[in-house]
A and B are shown apart, each in its own frame.
Chain A
């Protein structure tokens, strides 16, 4: 009965044992919570998320310091396949649908990833189609031939087929029209509210992310520099200018900011 679902503590990671991408990131996700990871390009959002899902080795990256604990268990040494079965399911940046497979086949791979039985798979497929009716209409289309929004739904649907406890989304808004982004985040919020699904989401689009998240962490140059309630951070107008490269007129004499707890 841990009050914390996921905790990342002092995470540092490199690529090829040489390029340091993340040097000190800490964050916490409580059960049933949406936590946004914000930051500019290259701040370390993707690296942090891939570390959580054990995807770094496939990118020739490695964790050099820090601990990641999920549901009271240290994740060091776990494989991505194991984590999916324990409930940490990633949705990759750029969607990464299987382009040469149909939408429905894409969704099936998520069920295989969890070793689901046939009955469970049929149930889960229904649930995904109820959440995204558009996918049902297009279920026989090759994923590579569908729109960006449909691909994002497919990627999320594929992850839901694995019955996640923590969904780890990397930049779901990339390359999508604002209305589509709104729809995606609505669906996520709905899952969060109805199924008590916890969500960790990295976003450059801080406006949308802060509107739907409960808490947020801001990364800058591979460090978590600010964390707090999303509502709190939203009220502070300076976040964008200070950390997210939102404006070139940032105050050059800015002070280090204390974390809002």
Chain B
């Protein structure tokens, strides 16, 4: 007989790990929406945040202080990147900007290496990973915590963009950058805020991913996990990043458990890409993405 309880357990585990993918994907989406740049350096920023935090803690800085310091550094990094790299390249073709962020990701990784060394660090953020037994289904406590943090972060940003003037400027720029310019909005200021938000997202995602995988240089590769999420959800939709992340998380786990044994296992690492590829053929703009309109 089919074990439904096990199915639910796998599904919930997948959805919760999907939240972590969403978190990385959101960092991409906020920047892509407002400036049309696919920020490849998002992963390097994530690594940089985790590494900075771990190194500060290991040097004896108190936990909350290290948290604040890292946050401040990430905000400064976001604003600095916007000012030093992207502002001089404004109005350049998207591929130029993409290449710039690709280069940037190596610079950030190199800087992290110079500053903090190349060792692998363990990161303990004080959440035990003992599974909870909820109605017979075992759920990882850490995954629940990560989902709650990601959820609150997204809610916070949603409120910010809905209520404040800055949020309205952001939505205006995302909707029609040329009109936003004509209205007199200072695009640079909006971009600086967007990069700050991306820095904060990288910070939170870096801590959560770092706590799960250990803080090491392969951490920056989680950006690659964000790509199928973006393909599925749409590059310019925050809702899409959330739903896409959940879907990819669930698909990965389900495929690993139920399809894996049929083909000899080990498909978790690439199942998501197969799905994304298939999805590209059917719906290239993603579930929630805007149809591609040629920018005049």
Partners in one complex: yes
Any A CB within 8 A of the CB of B172: yes
* Of the residues B168, B171, B178, B186, contact of A81 by C-beta under 8 Å: B186
B175 and A101 within 8 A (CB)? yes
Query: What chain B residues lie within 8 Å of A90 (beta carbons)?
Result: 182
Q: A99-117 CB contact bits vs B (8 Å, 1 = yes)?
A: 1110001001110111000
Q: Report B-chain residues with C-beta under 8 Å of the C-beta of A230.
A: none
Least distance between B133 CB and chain A CB atoms (Å)? 44
**Interface 0/1 of B172-195, CB less than 8 Å to A:** 100111111111111100000000
Q: Is B59 an interface residue (CB 8 A)?
A: no
A162 in the interface (beta carbon within 8 A): yes
Known contacts A92-B178, A96-B178, A99-B175: does B184 contact A84 (CB below 8 Å)? yes
Q: A53 interface residue, CB < 8 Å from B?
A: yes
A92 to chain B minimum Cβ distance, whole angstroms, is 5
Interface presence of A58 (CB below 8 A): yes
Nearest B residue (CB) for A84: B184
A-contact bits for B141-181, CB 8 A (1 contact / 0 none): 00000000000000000000000010011011001111111
Q: A113 near B185 (CB under 8 angstroms)?
A: yes
Q: How distant is the Cα of A57 from the Cα of B90 in the complex, in angstroms? A: 9
Q: Cβ of A109 and Cβ of B185 under 8 Å apart?
A: yes
A109 neighbours in B (Cβ, 8 Å): 168-169, 172, 180, 183, 185
Contact assessment for A162 and B184 in the assembled complex, using a CB-CB cutoff below 8 Å:
yes
Q: List chain B residues, Cβ under 8 A from A83.
A: 184
Interface size class of B (residues with CB under 8 A): 20 to 34
B91 lies within 8 A of chain A by Cβ? yes
How far is B115's CA from A57's CA once the two chains are assembled, in angstroms? 39
Q: A112, B165: Cβ atoms under 8 Å? A: yes
A121 nearest in chain B by CB position = B165
User: Is there an interface contact between B176 and A98, defined as CB atoms closer than 8 Å?
Assistant: yes
CB atoms of A108 and B186 under 8 A apart: no
Interface status of A89 (Cβ within 8 A of chain B): yes
Q: Is B182 in contact with A55, judged by CB distance below 8 angstroms? A: yes
* Residue from the set A59, A100, A109 with the largest chain B CB neighbour count within 10 Å: A109
Residues of B within 8 A of A20 (CB): none
**In the complex with contacts A109-B168, A112-B168, A100-B175 CB distance below 8 A:** yes
8 Å CB contact of B178 from A55, A89, A91: A55
B175 touches A84 (CB 8 A): no
What is the 8 Å Cβ interface bit string for chain B, positions 100-122, against chain A (1 contact, 0 not)?
00000000000000000000000
A97 touches B179 (CB 8 A): yes
The smallest beta-carbon distance between B194 and chain A, in angstroms, is 16
Contact yes or no, B171 A80, CB < 8 A? no
Q: Is the C-beta of A136 less than 8 angstroms from some C-beta in chain B? A: no
Q: Which residue of chain A lies nearest to B166 when distances are taken between CB atoms in the complex?
A: A112
Where the two chains meet, the residues of A that have a C-beta atom closer than 8 Å to any C-beta of B are 53, 55, 57-60, 80-81, 83-85, 89-92, 96-101, 105, 108-110, 112-114, 158-159, 162
- Chain B interface residues toward A at CB < 8 A: 91, 165, 168-169, 171-172, 175-187, 296
What would 24 A/B residue contacts be, using CB atoms closer than 8 Å? A59-B296, A81-B187, A84-B182, A84-B184, A89-B184, A91-B182, A92-B178, A97-B179, A98-B171, A98-B176, A98-B179, A99-B175, A99-B176, A100-B171, A101-B168, A101-B171, A105-B172, A109-B168, A109-B183, A110-B184, A112-B169, A159-B183, A162-B183, A162-B184
Which 8 residue pairs are nearest across A and B when measured between Cβ atoms? A84-B184, A113-B184, A96-B179, A98-B175, A113-B183, A90-B182, A109-B172, A81-B186
- Additional A-B contact list (9), CB under 8 Å, known A112-B184, A112-B185: A55-B182, A80-B182, A85-B184, A92-B178, A100-B171, A101-B172, A109-B183, A112-B168, A162-B183
